[in-house]
A and B are shown apart, each in its own frame.
Chain A
Amino acid sequence: MFLESPPPRAEPPPDPLPLAIRAAALGIIAAALLVVLLFRLWALQVLHAGDYSAAAVQSQVRTSVVPARRGDIVDRHGDVLVSSRTAIGVQVNSATFPAGTNCDGLNRHDRTEVIKRPGCLILWRLATVIKQPFPQVWKAYSSRLSANRGYPITLPFTVTRPQVAFMLERHNRFPSIQFQRTFVRDYPALDNPDLGAINPNLVGHVGAITADNLKDPAFRGENLPRTGTAGQAGIEKSYDGWLRGSDGETAQMFDASGEPVRSPYLVREPVTGSTVHLTLDAHLQKVAQDAIYRGMQIAHADQQYFADSGAVVAMNPRTGAIYAMASYPTYKPTVWVPPYQGQGRVTDPKNPLYPQVDKAYSGTYPPGSTFKPITAVAAWMSGLIGPGSTRACTTSFQSPNDFSHHTFNNWGPVNAVIGLSKALEISCDTFFYRLGDQFYDRYQAGSNVFQQWIRKLGYGSTPPVDIPGAISGVVPDQHWKAHYPPFVNGPNPSIDTLWEPGDDIQMAIGQGYLLVSPLQQAVAYSALENGGTIVTPHLVQSITGPDGSLAPGGNVAPKPQRDLHLPVSLLDEIKSGLYGATHAGDGTSTSTFGSFQPTVYGKTGTAEVPTEQCPECSDAWWAGWAEQNGRPLVVVAMIHNGGHGGVSAAPVAAEVFASFFHSRYQFHSGQDQSR
Chain B
Amino acid sequence: MIRYYVKHLDYLMLATVLSISAFGLWVMKNATRNDPGDLYGHQLVYVSIGVVAMLVVAAIPPGWMRRLHWPLYLFVLATVGVVLAVGHSVNGAARWITFAGFQFQPSEFSKLLLIVGLAALLASRRGITSPGRLTLLSLVYIGLPALLVFREPDFGTALVLAAMLMGMLFVYGAPWRHFVWLILAGAITLALIFSILPGAGIHVLQTYQVDRLTAFLHPEKLDPQQNGYNLQASLAAVSHGGVGGTGVRNATQTLFGYLPEHATDFVFAVVGEERGFVGAAWLIALYALLLWRGIKVITKSRSTFGSLVAAGVVSMLLFQITINIGMTIGLAPITGIPLPFMSFGGSHTLTNLLAIGVLQSIHVHAQTADEPRLAAQLAPA
Contact = CB atoms under 8 A, between A and B. Distances in A.
B26 interface: no
A56 B236 contact: yes
The size bracket of the interface on B is 35 or more
Nearest to B306: A14
B329 A37 contact: yes
B376 to A, nearest CB: 5
A56 B126 contact: no
Nearest to A261: B256
A254 B253 CA distance: 11
B238 A41 contact: yes
A55 to B, nearest CB: 8
Interface string A44-81: 11101111110111001000000000000000000000
B303 A13 contact: yes
B258 A42 contact: no
Contact of B123 (A11, A41, A254): A11
Contacts of A19: 171, 173, 298-299, 307
B187 interface: no
Contact of B68 (A2, A7, A33, A50): A2
A467 B36 CA distance: 62
Contacts of A6: 63, 66-67, 371-372, 375
B295 A26 contact: yes
A253 B171 contact: no
A254 B295 CA distance: 47
A4 interface: yes
B75 interface: no
Contacts of B171: 19, 22-23, 26
Contacts of B284: 34, 37-38, 41
A218 interface: no
A36 interface: yes
A41 B277 contact: yes
B257 A49 contact: no
B126 A53 contact: no
Contacts of A172: none
Given A5-B379, A14-B304, A40-B331, A23 B240 contact: no
A53 B237 contact: yes
B194 interface: no
A11 B126 contact: yes
A255 B287 CA distance: 33
A55 B314 CA distance: 39
A55 B222 CA distance: 15
B64 to A, nearest CB: 6
Given A11-B123, A30-B314, A44-B329, A2 B67 contact: yes
B74 to A, nearest CB: 14
Contact of B256 (A2, A25, A37, A254): A254
Nearest to A18: B173
Contacts of B281: 38, 41
A27 B242 contact: no
A20 B299 contact: yes
B299 A23 contact: yes
A255 B262 CA distance: 14
Nearest to B219: A52
B288 A50 contact: no
B322 A53 contact: no
B127 A56 contact: no
B170 A25 contact: yes
A414 interface: no
B318 interface: yes
Contacts of B170: 22, 25-26
Given A6-B372, A26-B315, A27-B291, A45 B280 contact: yes
Counting chain A CB atoms within 10 Å of each CB, which of B127, B238, B287 scores highest? B238
Nearest to A43: B329
A48 B295 contact: no
A33 B235 contact: no
A38 B302 CA distance: 34
B333 interface: no
Given A5-B376, A30-B314, A255 B257 contact: yes
Given A27-B295, A37-B329, A46 B243 contact: yes
Interface in A423-450: none
A256 interface: yes
B125 to A, nearest CB: 11
B257 A256 contact: yes
B63 A5 contact: yes
Interface string B292-327: 100100110011100100010011001001100110
Interface in B122-139: 123-124, 126-127
B325 A37 contact: yes
Contacts of B303: 11, 13-14
B232 interface: yes
B346 interface: no
A211 B67 CA distance: 83
B235 A44 contact: yes
B272 interface: yes
A19 B331 CA distance: 31
Counting chain B CB atoms within 10 Å of each CB, which of A7, A13, A34 scores highest? A34
Interface string B226-241: 0000001101111111
Contacts of B298: 19, 23, 26
A60 B258 contact: yes
Nearest to A59: B258
B264 interface: no
B377 to A, nearest CB: 9
B304 A11 contact: yes
B64 A3 contact: yes
B295 A30 contact: yes
A564 interface: no
B297 to A, nearest CB: 9
Contacts of A388: none
B252 interface: yes
B24 interface: no
Interface in B316-349: 318, 321-322, 325-326, 329-331
Given A2-B68, A4-B379, A46-B243, A26 B272 contact: no
Contacts of B373: 8
A36 B372 contact: no
A404 interface: no
Contact of A14 (B63, B277, B307): B307
Contacts of A60: 252, 256, 258
B167 interface: yes
Nearest to B259: A256
Contacts of B299: 16, 19-20, 23
22 contacts: A5-B375, A9-B372, A11-B303, A12-B127, A14-B302, A14-B303, A23-B307, A26-B315, A27-B295, A30-B291, A30-B314, A33-B322, A38-B281, A42-B277, A46-B277, A50-B239, A52-B240, A53-B236, A53-B253, A56-B240, A253-B256, A255-B258
Interface of A: 2-9, 11-16, 18-20, 22-27, 29-31, 33-34, 36-38, 40-42, 44-46, 48-53, 55-57, 60, 253-257, 261
Given A22-B171, A44-B235, A52-B236, 7 more contacts: A6-B372, A14-B303, A23-B307, A45-B238, A50-B242, A56-B232, A57-B252
Interface of B: 34, 63-64, 66-68, 123-124, 126-127, 167, 170-171, 173, 232-233, 235-243, 252-253, 256-258, 272, 276-277, 280-281, 284, 287-288, 291-292, 295, 298-299, 302-304, 307, 311, 314-315, 318, 321-322, 325-326, 329-331, 370-373, 375-376, 379
